[in-house]
Amino acid sequence: MAIAVAGLVAHRTLAQSNPSDVPNNFTNSPMVISSSTVPNGIIEPVSDRRASPPKERPTGGLYAQDPKRREAFTLTNTDVKGKISGNIARVEVTQTFQNPYDKPLEAIYVFPLPDQAAVDDMEIQIGDRIIKGDIKKREEAKEIYERARQQGRTAGLLEQERDNIFTQSLANIKPGEQIKVTIRYTESLKFEKGDYEFVFPMVVGPRYIPGSAIDPQGDTMQVPDASRINPPVVKPSTRSGNDIKVSLQIEAGIPIRNLYSTSHRLNVRNQGEAIALQLAAGDNIPNKDLILRYQVSGDRTQPTVLTTETDQGAHFASYVIPAVTYRADEIVPKDVVFLMDTSGSQSGDPIVKSKELMRRFINGLNPNDTFTIIDFASTTRQLSSTPLANTASNRQKALSYINNLDANGGTELMNGINAVNKFPAARDGRLRSVVLITDGYIGNDNEVIAAVQKNLKPGNRLYSFGVGSSVNRYILERLAEVGRGTVQVVRQDESTTEVAEKFFRQINNPVLTNIQVQWQGEGAAPEIYPQIIPDLFAEQPLVLFGRKSDRSNGKLKITGIAAGGERYEQTLDVNFGKSNSNLGIAQLWGRAKIKSLMNQMFGGEVKSLVDAVTQTALNYRLLSQYTAFVAVSEEVRVNPDGGKITVQVPVELPEGVSYEGIFGANTADKAVSYAAPPTGGIMPLSPATSGAVTRSAIRTRGSSRLEESADANIAAESAPQRPISMPKPTNAQSRIQIVSITGLTGDLTTAEQAIAQQLRSLQLPSGISGKVVFEITVQNGRLVKVIFDDVDSTLQDQNAIEMLKRSLQNVVLPSSFKGTMRLTLNVQ
């Protein structure tokens, strides 16, 4: 089947109007002209022409004010190749590192991938040799990597910090040598009806870090891994030296139309039954998400079932869009709380776009809706302490409030969530809809998600909107998921018209609720994810991943309640065989199971769930928070006793984000990284000359390692000592007794005294008793990770367990204490 070459992707301009007076009908909007074909040649990004024009930036190569310091940059190129077949994308990411120094180099690079990508392969290439990475438990992989680094072997270590943030470490690159690291993943594309979207993130935006600092690297009690998710940022006038190339092949099996990008210029070629595209020349700075959208012809509601068989069993993925609608008279009145991010990272174009989106939301509410606005940064403010009726005067009051908003301060999203939870309940039995607008640039992701998961009242919903070029899609996706809402992302230069129209189609009423899935066929029912199926909104697909251990065929019966109370039912055939086999389905099932397990631990890690995630990841060769890939050369390649250099690769600031808004008005000419001040937040570290390798770009990694820096003027820093002098408590009256402490590096008597002193005054609920076991990670004398061992513990009262965990996190030991300890308590 050949794809004809004709048609154009284009848009018409917005009418020039007062942005504070957006009409309800949303008629003045950019749009894609309908076309049944995709043109060859360059396609320009579809954007809002009213938005601020992009600032002039270098278009390629390595740029620095001092050409002699160009060798400071060690990541020279990222090459992305992908193939999209139907609903599945297989992507290969190759990072090229070089060593410009006269000593062996360790390069450390923090980068993003899609938050639901199933990463199942990593390898390093040294010359013509390929060294395949092995999947291991994370701590084991780190030990293998560290041992190889000390022995002088070349080694690569790939770790996951968040679902969308990863760290690539590459040790012992010889002087003048170039080494490539290749990562592969499978992803299920997002789509609604026949509209598909492929997103490849290119840069980790700067995360706001709340909490008290526990070390000079910027780690805090609330975000103990802050230094691992906040890479150093180059200043605006300097390129990082890393160019990115992206090439994709799309094989939809049916004609593709209306292919466009809101982020990049594309060079498109038709190739028979496929479309090949690349980033156009000059659009190679990795400072924004690649957003690619297209439509396919044919029946948009026809269900699809893909299958594969592996040693783990038979797997399937089902995709179906229920063909149900609702009438306007079925719309339920809503109480809407708009929660708006006005922190410093929103400064400039993002806050302009957020305010524009808010105006559309206010003007588009239904007559019987009520609303208010809460804006948050370092503190929170609100338009009204009670919900406002949707009257002309109240809308004007809201528009004036929006127009006066400015962006500055830290992203204390937790304050905003707490303000929503304290807001008066919706009146007259209305359901509350929380609408969050943010870039998601925070480090305490799980704390915020846990608060929504725990405190959002039944029936209420949270809808999340990301504004910017490189938003934190992980937190936006998970908040919408636990909040039983939807998520959308709008670039700072993209039209808000379609975004707002789609939102009102969805928020007015879900089209399918109370969805149940039953297996009809031989053998036991398959293990299906998600286990709790969310409600569906207009045009949303239902995507299910299943595994059948006995490999027997059958049918999926899907039922639900459509808008208006009508019963919905559909049956899908699931036949395992080679005719439609897709090997990526098994990895996607494994990833879906891991996500389901991790979603149960936003409020705290539990040993049985941690073990289940770890085992699933090992079985399916998947990267996770508890597994990692490690690759090691057989031969010793550098002198293990010689000097070495460790460099953390600096990254671009996301396009549209204000450097001054993040780091302050006086840092635009300085290279900066992040550290947490005593009160939390982001603050600049050390200034440096342009292009130089400084403390902001070089970090010592490892527990006891001190190596020669690339800059002789940089002195090694050690964590401050926290001496303690505590009398041994006589807590005969205490209900909590320490049974044992094992595994910790340090004086166990000192640890026991400090823990006993902390727990001494804790008042647990009456009437409970039993053994409680925790596995605790100690970092710089602080108990930063407390995992509840639900297998060996006999006490299961959740309130008591949470009280114990919070109390333990306040324990302070000498900073020399590190490692993992197992703490057994007895509650009498």
Helices (H) and strands (E) in the chain, counts: 13, 37
CA nearest to 671, candidates 636, 640, 698, 631:
698
For 216-250, letters b (16+ CB in 10 Å) and e give bbbbbbbbbbbbbbbbbbbbeebbbbbbbebebbb
Q: Does 775 share its domain with 762?
A: yes
Kindly report which listed range (257-271, 435-449, 671-685) carries the lowest average pLDDT score: 671-685
Answer yes or no: do 474 and 347 share one domain. Answer: yes
The contacts of residue 702 (CB under 8 Å, 6+ apart) are 146, 149
- pLDDT for residue 669: 52
| 341 & 414 share domain | yes
So what's the pLDDT on residue 695? Answer: 27
Does residue 30 register a pLDDT over 50?
Answer: no
What span, in angstroms and rounded, lies between the C-alpha atoms of 796 and 607? Answer: 13
CATH label of the domain that carries residue 570: 2.60.40
Task: Report pLDDT digits (tens) over 643-672.
Answer: 999 999 999 999 999 999 998 876 655 444
Structural domain boundaries, residue 774: 736-827
Task: Give the residue ranges of DSSP H helices in 259-391.
Answer: 349-364
Query: Is the predicted pLDDT of residue 759 greater than 60, yes or no?
Result: yes
Which structure tokens are listed for 82? 């992908």
Q: What's the CATH code of the domain at 436?
A: 3.40.50.410
C-alpha pair distances (Å), 740 with each of 221, 747, 756, 761:
24, 13, 12, 19
Q: What residue ranges in 129-265 does DSSP mark as E strands?
A: 129-132, 134-137, 153-162, 165-173, 178-188, 190-192, 195-200, 243-251, 256-261
- 304 domain residue, yes or no: no
Amino acid 2: pLDDT: 32
Per-residue pLDDT, averaged over 7-20, amounts to 29
Copy the structure tokens of residue 137.
């438990």
Residue 687: alpha-carbon gap to chain centroid: 29
**Within a domain: 238:** no
What are the two backbone dihedrals, phi and then psi, of residue 493, each rounded to the nearest 5 degrees? -115, 20
Q: Is residue 187 pLDDT above 50, yes or no?
A: yes
Between CA 672 and CA 480 the distance in angstroms is 33
Q: How far apart are CA 337 and CA 351, in angstroms?
A: 18
* Amino acid residing at 113: L
Same domain for 494 and 389, yes or no, is yes
- The count of residues in the chain is 828
Q: What is the pLDDT of residue 12?
A: 26
Q: What per-residue confidence (pLDDT) applies to 583?
A: 74
Q: Is 177 helix (H, G, I), strand (E, B) or coil?
A: coil
Q: How confident is the model at residue 579 (pLDDT cuts 50, 70, 90)?
A: low
Decide if 344 contacts 321 (C-beta within 8 A): no
Cα-Cα-Cα-Cα dihedral of 489, 495, 498, 499, to 10°?
30
Question: Residue 327's pLDDT band (boundaries 50, 70, 90)?
Answer: low
pLDDT at site 581: 67
Note whether 541 and 406 are same-domain residues.
no
Confidence (pLDDT) at 301? 63
Domain termination residue (choose one: 547, 577, 607): 577
Read off the pLDDT of residues 364-400 as tens digits, 9 standing for 90 and up. Answer: 999 999 999 999 999 999 999 999 999 999 999 999 9
Residue closest to 235 by CA, chosen among 557, 631, 672, 612: 672
Between helix 798-808 and helix 748-759 the angle, nearest 10°, is: 130
Q: Dihedral of the CA atoms 698, 703, 708, 713 (nearest 10)?
A: 60
Beta carbons of 531 and 392 less than 8 angstroms apart: no
Between strands 645-648 and 431-438, the pairing is unpaired
821 domain residue, yes or no: yes
Would you state the pLDDT for residue 134?
Answer: 98
Is residue 813 within 8 Å of 748, Cβ to Cβ? no
CA distance 190 to 97: 32
Give yes or no for a contact between 52 and 352, defined as CB atoms under 8 angstroms apart.
yes
Whether residue 1 contacts residue 273, with contact meaning beta carbons closer than 8 Å, is answered with yes
How confident is the prediction for the chain on average, in pLDDT? 84
Residue 699, number of CB atoms within 10 A of its CB = 17
Q: Which helix (H) or strand (E) holds 381?
A: strand 380-382
Domain count within the chain: 3
d(CA 67, CA 61): 12
Please answer whether residues 333 and 326 qualify as being in contact, where contact means their C-beta atoms are separated by less than 8 angstroms: no
Q: In this structure, are residues 706 and 651 in contact, taking their beta carbons and an 8 Å threshold?
A: no
Widest CA span of the chain, in angstroms?
Answer: 85
User: Residues 445, 522: one domain?
Assistant: no
As given in the structure block, the two tokens for residue 819 are 């490692």
What does DSSP say about strands 770-779 and 782-788: parallel, antiparallel, or unpaired? antiparallel
In a domain, 808, yes or no: yes
- 663 part of a folded domain: no
pLDDT at 722: 35
Q: Are residues 495 and 403 in the same domain?
A: yes
Residue 94 falls inside a structural domain: no
State which H helix or E strand residue 805 sits in.
Answer: helix 798-808
Q: Which amino acid is present at 706? A: L
Residue 419 sits in the same domain as residue 468? yes
The 10s digit of each residue's pLDDT in 339-358 is 999 999 999 999 999 999 99
pLDDT at 720: 35
Q: Which residue, 466, 489, 507, sits at the end of a domain?
A: 507
d(CA 74, CA 96): 8
**Contact call for residues 287 and 202 (beta carbons, < 8 A):** yes
pLDDT digits (tens, 9 = 90+) for 510-566: 888 999 999 999 889 999 999 989 999 887 899 999 999 999 999 999 999 987 788
Q: What is the band of 329 on the pLDDT scale with cuts at 50, 70, 90?
A: low
CA angle 107-111-113, nearest 5°?
140
Residue 57 has pLDDT above 50, yes or no: no
354 and 383 fall within a common domain: yes
Asked whether residue 532 is assigned to any structural domain, the reply reads yes
Say what percent of the chain tops pLDDT 70.
82
Orientation of helix 413-422 relative to helix 445-455, angle to 10°: 10
Question: What ranges in 320-391 are assigned the alpha helix state H?
Answer: 349-364
380: tokens are: 């929170």
Other CB atoms within 10 A of residue 577 CB: 11
What letter would DSSP give residue 330?
Answer: G
Bigger pLDDT: 615 vs 192: 615
Q: Are 10 and 31 in contact (CB under 8 A)?
A: no
Is 771 domain-assigned? yes
Tell the burial category of 150 from Cβ atoms under 10 Å away from its Cβ (0-12, 13-18, 19+): middle
Neighbours of 403 (CB within 10 A): 12
Q: Which residue blocks in 508-644 are alpha helix, DSSP H?
A: 584-599, 607-619
Residues 323 and 415 occupy one common structural domain: no
Tell me the three state secondary structure of residue 592: helix
Helix (H, G, I), strand (E, B) or coil at 801: helix
State how far the Cα of 592 lies from the Cα of 612, in Å rounded to an integer. 13
Q: Which of 18-32, 259-273, 682-696 has the highest mean pLDDT?
A: 259-273
Domain end call among 538, 554, 577: 577
Q: 465 and 379 in one domain?
A: yes
Instruction: Give pLDDT tens digits for 448-485.
Output: 999 999 999 888 899 999 999 999 999 999 999 999 99
Q: Which two tokens stand for residue 765?
A: 């609920």
- Identify whether the C-beta of residue 181 lies closer than 8 Å to the C-beta of residue 415: no
pLDDT in tens, 120-134: 999 999 999 999 999
Give the model's pLDDT for residue 72.
59
Residues 503 and 521 in one domain: no
